[in-house]
Amino acid sequence: MKKNKNNITEEQLKNQFAKKYLAYALSTITQRALPDVRDGLKPVHRRLIYAMHLLDLTSKSSFKKSARVVGDVIGKFHPHGDQSVYDALVRLAQDFSTKYPLINGQGNFGNIDGDNAAAMRYTETKLTEVSEFLLKDIGSETVNFRKTYDGELSEPTVLPAAFPNLLANGSSGIAVGMATNIPPHNLEEICSSIIHLNNHRDCSIRDLLKILKGPDFPTGGILNLDQKEMIKTYTTGRGFFELRAKYKVEDLSKGQYQVSISQIPYQVNKSKLIEKIADLIINKKNKLIDNVIDESDENIRVVIRPKNRNIDPVVLMNSLYQQTDLEIKFFLNMNVLNHKLEPKVMSIKEILYSFLKHRYIILEKKSKFALNKINIRLEILKGFLIAFKNLNNIIKIIRNSNNPKAELVKKYRFTENQVNAILDMKLRSLRKIEEKEIKEENSKLLNKKKLLMKLLSSKSLQKKEINKEMEDLILQFGNNSAYGLRKTVIEKFNRIESSELDEELKSTDPITAILLKTGFLKAKIGYSVCKVNADFSENEHLYVNGRKSDKFIFLSSFGKSYTLDGENLVFGSQKGKPFSSYFSLKENEEIVDSFLYKNNEKILLCSSNGYGFFINSDNLISNKKSGKKVFNIKKNDFLHSSVQIHKDQKYIFLLTKNKKENRASVISMKDIPTQEKGVGIILFKGKKVSLFALSTVSAKFEMLDNYTTPVKKSLNLKKFLIPRTKNGKIIKYNLFFSSLFRGYENNFKLIS
């Protein structure tokens, strides 16, 4: 950095940018966003409370307009926008934002629905008893003061804080490159922890957390009990807590019930929460809920009505925990300013110890201040006693001397304070009774001095005094006070597995997937029944009936298996959507078969040239758009069809064709292998013969047209029983074969 001849400083722009941004960042960190670990306040909050203290707005005084307070703050201490200061004031008065409100507000100060407070000209404020504890002994030279921004007034750098505000009310803020987020806690637990730490300085965080159970939010709720995670979070100063709404199940008539929510997670907007639940109902994203009603007055009451009485309320609430802010993660970041105004992420023990150390410093300073006042008063009282003994002479000197002050000092060796007090004494005080009172006051002050001297020299007495302060706080603000018991319950969450819950949330509306000969897939709402070929419209190949909650398996000519959730089908298109929009198909690859997935079912896969094997349905599931290869296709062959095997089925019915004739064969299942992947074995023989249709046959040589009903036909299937290596017997095709049951429920495939 250098100056030119015009006395202008020259420097590279990047260096100036770096310096100015660093100054801005430090200012934001220390003067705006992060709280002081000692009083738990940011500058704007500290200035609000101190300005109200100067206005004498105690908890017992009358209210003053908020505009007056805001005006004093921005005019004397905080040169920022009035709205930002008013917003900070409002938050300190909201009992749903601040666990132990620092400001008593009169008027509309907003609500949990997110409605704004009334304008500052309409609302009124004064301090609460909690704020008075923060200010306690501020006039006893306990804290340092600094000049305000204009240099005219002074403001405290920190408050004496006889109340552990940082942990009791928490704090949040975003600085430059860092942030803080500290939850509120229960005061009785905080004070008990401070007492324990004061008595056992080497105690562990685990010991402290036996007393300080965890956050206690003003809106209540249920906190997940995870001791291991909680210890880690409070040790490192970073982590998260899982918080849920509190609810109860209310029985109604005829076995019906409803769920009423009485507490919601901290900082969740109730109105937006209800809008989200309503949106789930309208868009059918949660099939368990029928209605949501806001019945709140001064207390929260949100009523959830289930679709039917058979829905488990635990499942219903778990679905809402997953889909809405009825369950949140509160992220903890205990980043605060230490006594040197340096940002630091502290553990819970460090925060408690910092407050404890601050209280020891305040105790020492206020004791020294009191001791100094006593010494000054004792000095004056000593002068008064000398004056009473020599009253006539002193009166004579005062009456006759040109400079009585100097003469009194010279004759009786009075100090400056003593002689000033004597000269200021009123004549009516010169009575015998006054001398007696002075002697009594002198005696009392000597005793107080003795106690203060003892306190200042004894660490054990100081420890007792600090412990007594905490005990007094417990009496005034603890669980047995008007502030009441802990609001946030800590218990282990009753969780339902995410996959299980996803299934519960899926819509069960009936749907039909229709495979078209053009290579398109059409989907529509509702079921379709096609018993014979005549029921199929032109271009239709296969009907698969199911529900939106089902998984659909699709088999391709290349021996691949694809999986598609019913809710992901595209509905409403008359022409359908190409399979390529659902799957990554290769050139000339076609979808040849489809059915609903059911776990652990036995499926027979068969190629056009007669190769086949059994496969478990679970091995056909694929989460990839590119599918899963399950059948190794030989040259000039393709995967043709499939059939589901039921427990009473013993044989496979195969219908084959060539240019001249149709042949049928019934073969035993015994020789057919079960594989996860492969080509299997040959199921039929013949030159230029290809598979036409597949079905199953029972031990009684009956073929079913659904799960239980035998086909009422005169066809003698037993005569077609042959070894699988031989050619089938010639059979005449008729409409009977258009309704072959393939083992899949509500599944209809065109036989052609």
**How many angstroms from the chain centroid is the CA of residue 299?**
22
Residue 493 pLDDT > 50: yes
Residue 532 pLDDT > 70: no
Contact 620, 605 (CB under 8 A): no
β-partners of residue 291 are 305
Q: Rounded distance, CA 260 to CA 249, Å?
A: 6
- Fold annotation for 13-188: Topoisomerase II; domain 5 (3.90.199)
Residue 439 pLDDT > 50: yes
Residue 264's pLDDT band, with cuts at 50, 70 and 90, is very high
Instruction: Give percent of the chain with pLDDT exceeding 70.
Output: 93
Q: Rounded distance, CA 213 to CA 556, Å?
A: 59
Q: In the chain, what are the domain boundaries?
A: 13-188, 246-325, 359-477, 506-749
Check residue 492 and report its DSSP letter: -
Q: Rounded distance, CA 90 to CA 105, Å?
A: 8
Q: Flag whether the pTM goes above 0.75.
A: no
What is the CATH code of the structural domain delimited by 506-749? Answer: 2.120.10.90
Other beta carbons less than 10 A from residue 569's beta carbon: 20
Helix H or strand E encompassing 15: helix 13-28
The length of the chain is: 752
Residue 529 pLDDT > 80: no
Check if 266 is active-site. Answer: no
Residue 750's pLDDT band, with cuts at 50, 70 and 90, is confident
Tens-digit pLDDT profile for residues 690-712: 887 888 888 888 877 666 666 65
Residue 426 pLDDT > 80: no
Extract the tokens encoding 541.
């190949």
Contact 628, 643 (CB under 8 A): no
Amino acid at 379: E
Residue 104's pLDDT band, with cuts at 50, 70 and 90, is very high
Amino acid at 529: V
Residue 305's pLDDT band, with cuts at 50, 70 and 90, is very high
Q: State the chain's mean pLDDT as an integer.
A: 89
Mean pLDDT of 674-685: 90
**pLDDT in the model for residue 735:** 46
Amino acid at 266: Y
Q: Which of 21, 24, 122, 527 is catalytic?
A: 122
Residue 548's pLDDT band, with cuts at 50, 70 and 90, is confident
Mean pLDDT of 322-348: 94
CATH architecture of 359-477: Orthogonal Bundle (1.10)
Choose between 402 and 10: higher pLDDT. 402
DSSP collapsed to 3 states, 624-640: CCCCEECECCCCCCCEE
Q: Rounded distance, CA 638 to CA 691, Å?
A: 10
**pLDDT in the model for residue 739:** 58
For 107, 156, 400, the CA distances from 58, given in Å and listed in that order, are: 18, 18, 50
Of 3.30.70.260, 3.30.379.10, 3.30.1360.40, 1.20.1250.20, which CATH number belongs to 246-325?
3.30.1360.40
Residue 132 pLDDT > 60: yes
For 315, 462, 479, 583, 618, the CA distances from 224, given in Å and listed in that order, are: 17, 38, 22, 41, 36
